[in-house]
Each structure stands twice: as structure tokens, then as C-alpha cells.
């Protein structure tokens, strides 16, 4: 069993050994003793619970890049059939034209792909890069705030170490966008962050501008094992925990929405409600401003999570791992919930027992939105290979998936799961120029990435090793040959 899998089900080695802290105090603080105050204090910006607030704004800026065109490429667009001998024209970081015949303005730099494949940049919607950085030492184990079952108040970006040497390796694997999630120890693990796989001095330098936050939730074995002593210790305890939290969050949302709607009116004199980060994140889910990413293995538990979402009026954007997705492929399709899965993991715990390689193909066949994710820094570098395994497994049971569809598992489908399908995930005019030029068929074991662009900027070039991104950590520690 790989260490990555252990990481998953142990939640977090360092904290798993620590006895869980006693149940947290109620998430809301006692009401302000308004009587004793002579005047209303100015809550400042930090005192307000504002929808779509952005206190840690992205500082990512794509460098200016000259226009270029890739000619004579086999284009797997994730937006239609394969285009052989296609051309793609990029200007100002965007795809401006794509097709069998494209007018390329004179003077544009031309890259002849020589028939090689070009795909959209790979998107991994389940990563722990930066929050479980390499080398894997306790001091860098920042992915699971396994101290209480509901930590919707924590934000993954506050754990992201931009010098994690796994980032450049991911880029070399063709990954251009990552969703970094908190771990799965908790019912509510916290907010995710969407990153561009680019060098940065800060997490904000890597943040995808305008991307919505996600909320990590987790079903099943992990929370009940981590909190066995203090609760929840059962699956029914898990469900009670979700529902109790949503009840509070809904009250919080109403209070704040009412306050925010009235606060600028002259007659409004009441004090601001107390701000609470846990409820704030959940309230944002209820408002539709944060997308739910729900770690859940078993078919029956997913059905219950869908009922909970219906009870409280929020949507689950994607289930993650979904080892039994193939058992409810029709229902996932009907509910419009994506299934972010591994190609071939299973068996490592009871809720993963029924993992099958044909999961993606069966989901695809039922019209569900399948995504191959990694949850693993090695697998993330080779999501194309993972997809190839899933394709083969589909073919073996009479459910072949064409390359033009399989590429969607790695591109436009995860783009949708992140709410970014209007910007990335396919080769279409107007989209960000996140591109991968492969040495051959991306579904072959022998194929490697040759070049990777993000927003039209060449970020990885296999033929120019000296230009490769090396993190601060690697300097001196990692031999130059091993980058």
C-alpha cells in the first residue's frame, strides 16, 4: 500500500496519534452584552460576514507572452471530435482560434507539432500539494485539522507551502490547475483553494483569479475513526453531525443576510451579528457561492448525502473517490453531480472494497460526469495514464470510451467541478491557453509531456532542462539531475 493511500485513511499520522480534543464549544460566541456599550463599535471589514468575500486575494499575473501558433497537431479538444492536423492560435494568453484551418497572422511564432498531440492542460480536482508537501515530515503535515469534526473555518490556502517540490513535478506531468483540498478526517474539512501550477513566492501568487472556493466534506470511515472517542463514532453520528451543522449555518445565513440587506438603511440601528468562520463557510455553500466536494466511497452513503443536500437546499458539485459510483451512475447523472474517481484504487479499507477499474467507463456510459482525480502526488503527474487504464477496463466490458471523450475526464469535467469551465478545460476560442504538447498519444505508457503552457506562457519545456522550475527547497538538496 502506497504511503499516499495510508495518508488518506489514516487522515494524518501526526494527529491521528493524538487523542482528539474534547468536543468543541458551540461555534457561536455568546451574544455581545450590548447594554454595557455606550456606542456601536465599528466592526471593521474583519467583523463582517460578507458573501463572496476575498480577504486573501490572488496576486497571480501571467507574464506577457508573444502570440504563437501550434500547427500540424492532433488536437484532443475536450469540446468535440479529434482534429487531426489542426492548428491552434494563441494571443494574450488566450486561445483565439482553433481548427483544421486557421489564419495565422504573419510574424506569429509557429511551433510545428509534427502530428503530436495537444490537449488542454490537465486539471486535478483532488490534490494535497502544498498542504502535504515533500519531504513528508510532521512539520509539513498541514492537510488535516483533525481537532474537531467540523473545521469548516480552516482554509487550505493557509497551509499551502509554495516551495513544495511536488509542484514542478506536477507541472511536468501536464497539470496546469489544481484544487488543493483539506484532508478527510473531518465531516467538514475546510475550504479548498484552486491553484495554477506556477512558481510563486506565496500561495496568493498561485491562486486562480476568480475561482470559487470549495468545501471539503467527508463521509464514512475517516471521521468516525478519527473521532471514535469524542464522536462521531458511527455513520449515523456522521449524518447527525452534518445536519446539526447545516441547521446552525442556515440560521447564521438568515441573520447575516437580513443584517446585510438592512445595514445601509438609515433606520437600521441594530448591531452586527457575531461573525463565525465555520458558519460563514457553510452559509456560503447555502448561498451557492462555495462548491461542495464530498469525499464519499459507498453508493448508499452518497445517496444519503444527496438527501441531506436536498434537505438543506445546497448542491453537491462533486463526490470524490466514489469507489462505488458505478453502482449509482444513473442517479449521479440525474442529480448532476460529478464523480471524481481513481482509475484503479480499491480494496484498502472496507468502504473501498468494491473498487473496479471500469468505474469511469460505467459512469460515462450512464451519462454521469466522470473525472479522474489523483489524491496523490505521483498519480497526479500521470492522470493521462490513469485515464488510459480506465479506458482499457471499459473496453474489456464492452463500454469503450473514445479518446475524445476520455480526455474530458482530465480537463473539461474537472473544470466544471471547479466552476471554471468557462475559462479552462477545453481547446476553444476564448479559453485560457493552458496547453500540453505530448510526445505521442497521451494514452500511451511511453508518452511524455514535451511542453506545457499556462495562460499562453511556456512553463515547462522538456528540451530545455536548464529553464525548469526548481523550488527553493530543491536548491542544494535535490541533485540537479533529479529535477
Among 443, 454, 459, 460, binds other proteins (CB under 8 A): 443
* Single residue of 285, 291, 372, 388 touching other proteins by CB under 8 A: 388
Least separation in angstroms between residue 33's CB and other proteins is 49
At closest approach, how far in Å is the CB of 401 from other proteins?
11
Q: Which residues face 432 on adjacent strands? A: 94
Q: Is 89 in the site for other proteins (CB under 8 A)?
A: no
User: Does the footprint of other proteins cover residue 402 (CB under 8 A)?
Assistant: no
Q: How far is the CB of 327 from other proteins (least distance, A)?
A: 5
Residues 94 to 133 in contact with other proteins, rule: CB under 8 A: none
Residue 28: CB minimum distance to other proteins, A: 36
Distance CA 366, CA 410 (A): 18
* Closest to 410 measured CA to CA, from 338, 349, 482, 351: 338
Residue 478 binds to other proteins (criterion: CB under 8 A): yes
Which residue, among 122, 58, 63, 119, has the nearest Cα to 93 in the 3D structure? 63
Total site size for other proteins, rule CB under 8 A: 63
280 binds other proteins (CB under 8 A): no
Residue with cell 446539526: 244
Cα 42 → chain centroid: 36
- The site map against other proteins for 152-181 (x = CB under 8 A) is -------------xx--x------------
Return the closest-CA partner of residue 370 out of 346, 394, 395. 394
Is position 221 an interface residue for other proteins (rule: CB under 8 A)? yes
Nearer to other proteins, 301 or 455 (CB): 301
Q: From the CB of 135, what's the least distance to other proteins, in Å?
A: 5
By CB under 8 A, is residue 396 in contact with other proteins? yes
Q: Quick one: 2 or 32, whose CB is closer to other proteins?
A: 2
Position among 158, 315, 448, 470 found at the interface with other proteins (CB under 8 A): 448
Using the minimum distance from each CB to other proteins, give the nearer residue, 373 or 382.
382
Stretch of 226-234, 283-291, 391-399, 458-466 lying at the interface with other proteins (CB under 8 A): 391-399
Q: Does 348 bind other proteins (CB under 8 A)?
A: yes
CB 363 to other proteins: min, Å: 9
Is the CB of 129 or the CB of 194 nearer to other proteins?
A: 129
Asked if 464 interacts with other proteins (CB under 8 A), we say no
Q: How far is the CB of 218 from other proteins (least distance, A)?
A: 15
Site for other proteins, rule CB under 8 A: 1-3, 5, 9, 134-137, 165-166, 169, 221, 326-327, 329-330, 333, 344-350, 353-358, 362, 365-367, 377-378, 381-382, 385, 388-389, 391-393, 395-399, 443-448, 473-474, 477-479, 481-482
Amino acid at each position: 500500500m502506497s504511503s499516499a493511500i495510508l495518508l488518506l485513511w489514516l487522515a494524518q499520522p501526526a494527529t491521528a496519534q493524538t487523542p482528539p480534543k474534547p468536543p468543541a464549544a458551540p461555534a457561536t460566541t455568546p451574544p455581545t452584552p450590548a447594554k454595557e456599550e455606550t456606542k456601536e463599535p465599528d466592526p471593521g471589514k474583519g467583523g463582517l460576514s460578507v458573501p463572496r468575500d476575498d480577504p486573501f486575494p490572488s496576486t497571480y499575473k501571467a507574464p506577457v507572452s508573444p502570440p504563437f501558433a501550434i500547427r500540424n497537431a492532433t488536437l484532443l479538444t475536450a469540446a468535440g471530435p479529434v482534429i487531426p492536423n489542426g492548428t491552434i492560435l494563441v494571443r494574450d494568453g488566450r486561445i483565439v482560434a482553433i481548427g483544421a484551418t486557421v489564419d495565422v497572422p504573419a510574424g506569429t511564432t509557429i511551433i510545428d507539432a509534427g502530428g503530436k498531440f495537444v490537449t488542454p492542460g490537465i486539471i486535478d480536482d483532488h490534490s494535497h500539494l502544498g498542504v502535504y508537501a515533500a519531504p513528508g515530515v510532521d512539520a509539513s503535515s498541514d492537510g488535516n485539522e483533525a481537532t474537531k469534526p467540523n473545521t469548516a473555518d480552516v482554509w487550505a490556502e493557509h497551509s499551502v507551502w509554495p516551495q513544495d517540490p511536488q509542484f514542478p513535478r506536477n507541472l511536468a506531468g501536464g497539470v496546469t490547475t489544481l484544487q488543493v483540498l483539506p484532508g478527510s478526517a473531518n465531516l467538514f474539512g475546510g475550504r479548498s483553494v484552486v491553484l495554477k501550477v506556477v512558481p510563486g513566492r506565496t500561495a496568493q501568487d498561485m491562486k486562480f483569479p476568480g475561482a470559487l472556493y470549495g468545501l471539503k466534506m467527508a463521509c464514512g470511515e475517516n471521521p468516525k475513526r478519527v473521532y471514535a472517542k469524542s464522536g462521531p463514532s458511527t455513520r449515523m453520528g456522521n449524518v447527525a453531525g452534518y445536519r446539526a451543522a447545516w441547521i446552525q449555518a442556515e440560521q447564521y445565513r438568515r441573520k447575516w443576510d437580513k443584517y446585510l440587506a438592512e445595514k445601509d438603511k438609515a433606520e437600521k440601528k441594530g448591531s452586527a451579528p457575531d461573525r463565525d468562520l465555520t458558519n460563514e463557510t457553510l452559509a456560503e455553500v447555502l448561498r451557492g457561492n462555495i462548491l461542495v466536494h464530498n469525499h464519499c466511497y459507498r453508493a448508499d452513503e452518497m445517496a444519503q448525502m444527496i438527501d441531506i443536500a436536498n434537505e438543506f437546499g445546497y448542491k453537491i458539485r462533486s463526490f470524490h473517490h466514489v469507489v462505488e459510483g458505478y453502482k449509482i451512475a444513473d442517479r449521479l447523472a440525474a442529480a448532476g453531480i460529478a464523480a471524481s474517481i481513481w482509475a484503479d484504487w480499491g480494496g484498502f479499507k472496507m468502504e473501498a472494497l468494491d473498487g473496479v477499474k471500469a468505474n469511469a467507463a460505467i459512469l460515462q456510459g450512464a451519462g454521469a460526469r466522470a473525472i479522474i482525480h489523483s489524491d496523490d502526488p505521483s498519480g497526479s503527474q500521470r492522470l493521462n495514464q490513469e485515464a488510459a487504464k480506465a479506458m482499457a477496463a471499459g473496453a474489456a466490458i464492452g463500454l469503450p470510451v473514445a479518446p475524445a471523450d476520455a480526455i474530458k475526464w482530465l480537463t473539461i469535467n474537472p473544470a466544471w467541478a471547479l466552476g471554471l469551465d468557462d475559462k479552462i478545460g477545453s481547446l476553444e476560442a476564448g479559453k485560457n491557453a493552458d496547453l500540453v504538447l505530448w510526445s505521442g498519444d497521451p494514452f500511451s505508457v511511453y508518452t511524455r509531456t514535451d511542453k506545457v503552457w499556462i495562460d499562453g506562457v511556456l512553463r515547462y519545456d522538456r528540451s530545455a532542462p536548464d529553464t525548469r522550475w526548481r523550488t527553493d527547497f530543491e536548491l542544494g538538496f535535490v541533485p540537479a539531475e533529479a529535477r
